[in-house]
Structure 1
Amino acid sequence: MNLPIVVGVDGSEPSLRAVDWAADEAALRGAPLRLVYASLWERYEGAALAQDFGKPSEQVMAEDIVRTAAQRARLRQSDVRIATDVLPEEPEYALVREGHTAAALVVGSRGRSGVVEMLLGSVSLAVAAHADCPVIVLRGSHDNQVRAGTQGRVVVGIGEQATDSAALRFAVQEAELRHATLDAVRAWRCPAHESTEHPLLAGEPARLHEQHAAEVLEQALKDVPEQVGLRRRTVEGPARRVLPDASRDADLLVVGARRNPGHVGLQLGRVAHAVLHHSACAVAVVPEQV
């Protein structure tokens, strides 16, 4: 049985775009789609209000939101099996728990409480930092649209510990499903203390660092199936700048986030945090177990 694609909905425009993306993702995978609305309406409106006036107004709104989202998903992908749920709890906790039995979670860049499209909402950030399945965060472009599968390019960031990378496996799968080119990018930097102005040594430290980056990249990609169109790139600069630059004209940017079971708090790392805020396309954050 295929695990579902789970999408968090709250009626906002970013969440409706997430529904579109999730429906397409479910269709590509032949997976069911699960639409989840989570809110603490029950705690704030109370059981007494429900008994006196019927359903709490927030519950009525929530049910309308998931019903509308399901209709939208059916119109987009009529063959996808769809389930809905309304959960009376904090959305970040509900979605992280949903991720235990999901192939992937899909969320918008911000919810109804967001004020600026370019800022990532707290729920999206928390889910990306804690879920134990891949989390796809939809980044809004300047025309307020997110288009899935139009560029034919999936970008994946290759880290230092790239062997047996869950992020790379996910990126390969996405590229295969989309019949897209996999653009594997390894960022590298030459530490300032290794630079030299001596004419006979100029460029030598940089060359060695670039060579090491190319070796890491080659080792990481050695098991990528031959049928996947593959582009290898080593780019000088910090990964948190190189990867957002590489995301232009891409369908998806995939990065790993190391998970330490004993650690409390956000588990993203600087690179994943930066691309979530600055990528020009959707970002998939894939947990990597330490």
Structure 2
Amino acid sequence: MEGTTAGPELGTVIVGVDGSDPARGAALWAAAEAARRGKALHIVHAADTDNRAVYASVETIERIRAAGRELLDDTAAAVADLHPGLHVTTEFSRSPAVPSLRRAAGVHGTIVVGNRGLGGFTSLMLGSVGLKAAASATTPFAVVRGTDPGVETGSVLAGVRDEHDLDCVRYAACEAELRKASLRLLHVWNLLESVGDVVSMLDDVEEISDRHAHRLSVMAELIREEFPDLTVYADLEKSFSVAGVLAEASQGADLLVVGGRRSPGYIGRTLGHVSHSLLHHASCPVLLIPRQVNNQGSES
């Protein structure tokens, strides 16, 4: 099955491997994702040999290259065993991991990494290279937690903040269709995030809740119209921890899709605190969909 009848274009799948078990698990997850999409899988090993050549011997660099190519061959063979009809390509990159993955993804590709790596130059460990790659991603970016895919639940979860997450929800709907799963839209609103005097607002909690529920309902109806064969649920929860609620809900999902956004007040690309927390604590793979940035530098 290639693509869906509605929603955004789902491109090729690019996975970074570094020899760790989580990276291997990510490669197998990425292969299944590429097979569902009817797209190719591109496996990248970024050894950063150009920078290492400054202080490493020629023999050391050759050993790194040989090990990297062997890793790529072994990973491709493991993928072929599970998905014999899948078109798989491999790339040994002499550059660091982040630019290598971004270059391979191009405009529409989805980048996939494991949640931990080996450490060092070829590490894709979340918290270092993985977080940097996620924060700078301009295309969909998935972090696969652990090595065991577990039992499928038949549900895709989409974290919804506001109307600007519509593209993210459409992407989640496409993912749900590909999996023949249902889609659950979950909006968590935190009273303390509202602007103004919290104490004076307490009498208006129900009114505020109704407004949140209405916006979520409108989005859910729009998705039902665009994806008529998809079962869509919409849930609203109040909590002081948005990330906590989404992380708990991820226990019943095959995939959590959230809109990647940058934290305000920081220079350069950064992850919002909710996205950052979910990449560390969600129970299922997390797919970040970057928000578009307009010419003034703000999110749209």
- Give the secondary structure class of the aligned counterpart of 1:268: coil
Shift of 1:166: 2.1
The change in CA–CA distance for 1:66 and 1:208 in structure 2 (over 3 A counts) is same
* Cα deviation 1:32-67 (Å, max 9, x = unaligned): 0000000223432469944xx596111111001111
Shift of 1:104: 0.8
Provide the C-alpha distance between the structure 2 equivalents of 1:76 and 1:102, rounded to a whole number of angstroms: 25
Give the match for residue 188 of structure 1: 189
- Are the equivalent residues in 1 in contact too, given 2:220–2:233 (CA < 8 A)? no
Give the match for residue 126 of structure 1: 132
- Are the equivalent residues in 1 in contact too, given 2:117–2:126 (CA < 8 A)? no
Provide the C-alpha distance between the structure 1 equivalents of 2:31 and 2:190, rounded to a whole number of angstroms: 39
Give the match for residue 231 of structure 1: 233
Provide the C-alpha distance between the structure 2 equivalents of 1:253 and 1:215, rounded to a whole number of angstroms: 23
Provide the C-alpha distance between the structure 2 equivalents of 1:129 and 1:233, rounded to a whole number of angstroms: 28
- Give the secondary structure class of the aligned counterpart of 1:80: coil
Shift of 1:209: 2.2
Shift of 1:146: 2.7
Provide the C-alpha distance between the structure 1 equivalents of 2:57 and 2:126, rounded to a whole number of angstroms: 34
Give the match for residue 208 of structure 1: 207
Provide the C-alpha distance between the structure 2 equivalents of 1:72 and 1:281, rounded to a whole number of angstroms: 22
Give the match for residue 244 of structure 2: 241
- Are the equivalent residues in 2 in contact too, given 1:187–1:235 (CA < 8 A)? yes
Equivalences for residues 1-290 of structure 1 within 5 A:
3-45=11-53, 49-50=57-58, 53=59, 56-113=62-119, 120-140=126-146, 144-147=147-150, 150-162=152-164, 165-191=166-192, 192-194=198-200, 204-224=203-223, 225-237=227-239, 238-258=241-261, 264-289=267-292, 290=299
- Are the equivalent residues in 1 in contact too, given 2:262–2:269 (CA < 8 A)? no
The change in CA–CA distance for 1:13 and 1:160 in structure 2 (over 3 A counts) is same
Structure 1 runs (4+) deviating above 3 angstroms are 45-50
- Are the equivalent residues in 2 in contact too, given 1:130–1:266 (CA < 8 A)? yes
- Are the equivalent residues in 2 in contact too, given 1:190–1:205 (CA < 8 A)? no
Provide the C-alpha distance between the structure 2 equivalents of 1:277 and 1:54, rounded to a whole number of angstroms: 34
Provide the C-alpha distance between the structure 1 equivalents of 2:63 and 2:108, rounded to a whole number of angstroms: 30
- Are the equivalent residues in 2 in contact too, given 1:100–1:132 (CA < 8 A)? no
Shift of 1:246: 1.1
- Give the secondary structure class of the aligned counterpart of 2:29: helix
- Give the secondary structure class of the aligned counterpart of 2:253: coil
State the TM-score, normalized to the length of structure 1: 0.85
Provide the C-alpha distance between the structure 1 equivalents of 2:77 and 2:47, rounded to a whole number of angstroms: 21
- Give the secondary structure class of the aligned counterpart of 1:11: coil
Shift of 1:170: 1.0
Provide the C-alpha distance between the structure 1 equivalents of 2:159 and 2:98, rounded to a whole number of angstroms: 26
Provide the C-alpha distance between the structure 1 equivalents of 2:25 and 2:221, rounded to a whole number of angstroms: 35
Shift of 1:222: 2.6
> How many equivalent residue pairs?
270
- Are the equivalent residues in 2 in contact too, given 1:5–1:102 (CA < 8 A)? no
Provide the C-alpha distance between the structure 2 equivalents of 1:69 and 1:264, rounded to a whole number of angstroms: 37
Identical aligned pairs, as a percentage? 30
Name the Cα RMSD after superposition.
2.5
Provide the C-alpha distance between the structure 1 equivalents of 2:219 and 2:103, rounded to a whole number of angstroms: 31
Shift of 1:160: 2.0
Provide the C-alpha distance between the structure 2 equivalents of 1:206 and 1:14, rounded to a whole number of angstroms: 43
> Any stretches of 5+ residues in structure 2 without a counterpart?
3-9, 193-197, 293-298
Shift of 1:102: 4.3
Provide the C-alpha distance between the structure 2 equivalents of 1:68 and 1:226, rounded to a whole number of angstroms: 42
Shift of 1:285: 0.5
The farther-off stretch of 270-279 and 39-48 is 39-48
- Give the secondary structure class of the aligned counterpart of 1:223: helix
- Give the secondary structure class of the aligned counterpart of 1:185: strand
Give the match for residue 199 of structure 1: none
Shift of 1:264: 4.6
- Are the equivalent residues in 1 in contact too, given 2:49–2:61 (CA < 8 A)? no
The change in CA–CA distance for 1:54 and 1:93 in structure 2 (over 3 A counts) is closer
Provide the C-alpha distance between the structure 2 equivalents of 1:100 and 1:264, rounded to a whole number of angstroms: 24
